[in-house]
Structure 1
Amino acid sequence: MTFQPPVPFPRPTEERISFHRTELTPILSLYGRMVAAGEWRDYGISSLRDVAVFSVFRRTAENPLYRIEKRPRLRLRQGQYAVIGMEGQVLKRGDDLKTVLRVLERKLIRPVD
């Protein structure tokens, strides 16, 4: 009889929610315009079990100015995309990412003096 090492249990593959390339395109386009306008300076992306988050910062060491969240579980209720402000208030929620991002594009429009 030969010794056989125990077979390790396979780890359950944790599915993580993440942004698809087609979702990142409009987000990064808006981010680039806001950086060019001098409003935003840094970003971070988190892929978790229940939510994917794109955080926008004015400075690296601060709390995020805005969070763009994707929660697929809310797809049939309130919409899977949301823009959340610094204090945690939901600024816009819906199923169409471009429509949800419009709340941030308004920040680019400034009155002409």
Structure 2
Amino acid sequence: MSNIVPLPLGKAGQVGFERIELSRIMDLYGRMVAAGEWRDYAMDFDKDAASFSAFRRAAERPQMRVEKRPSLRGRQGMWTLFGEAGQVLKRGHELPGVLAVIERRLLKIVE
């Protein structure tokens, strides 16, 4: 007789990205890789926040970091975009609005 034991998928209380959020972030990452801007990424999941960092080179500081902090949902918004030096570039309640700052770099002027 066998017993089925469910495996824990993550730590209790750990913050993570939903599928649609991660899809949006990875779509932007893929376009930035194709443009030659980024080459590596890292994700960090903690009990308070989840973050996605993108690097030009793996040995450097992240060029940008998107952080999801659900505890700030009711105040300034749970999404924050940080620049290379750690400065806050944008805060908001919706991920597309926060990522728009980075997506503007992909726009090219055509005559």
Selected match of 1:22 from 20, 23, 30: 20
Percent of counterpart pairs with the same letter? 54
Question: Structure 1: any 5+ residue segments left out of the alignment?
Answer: 1-12
Structure whose alpha-carbon radius of gyration is higher: 1
Distance 2:54 2:29 in 1: 8
Amino acid at match of 1:99: G
Selected match of 1:47 from 45, 49, 66: 45
Distance 2:104 2:48 in 1: 29
TM, length-normalised to structure 2 = 0.85
Q: What root-mean-square deviation, in Å, do the aligned CA atoms of Structure 1 and Structure 2 show?
A: 1.4
Partner residue, 1:66:
64
Aligned residues: 101
TM, length-normalised to structure 1 = 0.84
Distance 1:109 1:22 in 2: 23
Moved over 3 A (4+): 110-113
Question: Structure 2: any 5+ residue segments left out of the alignment?
Answer: 1-10
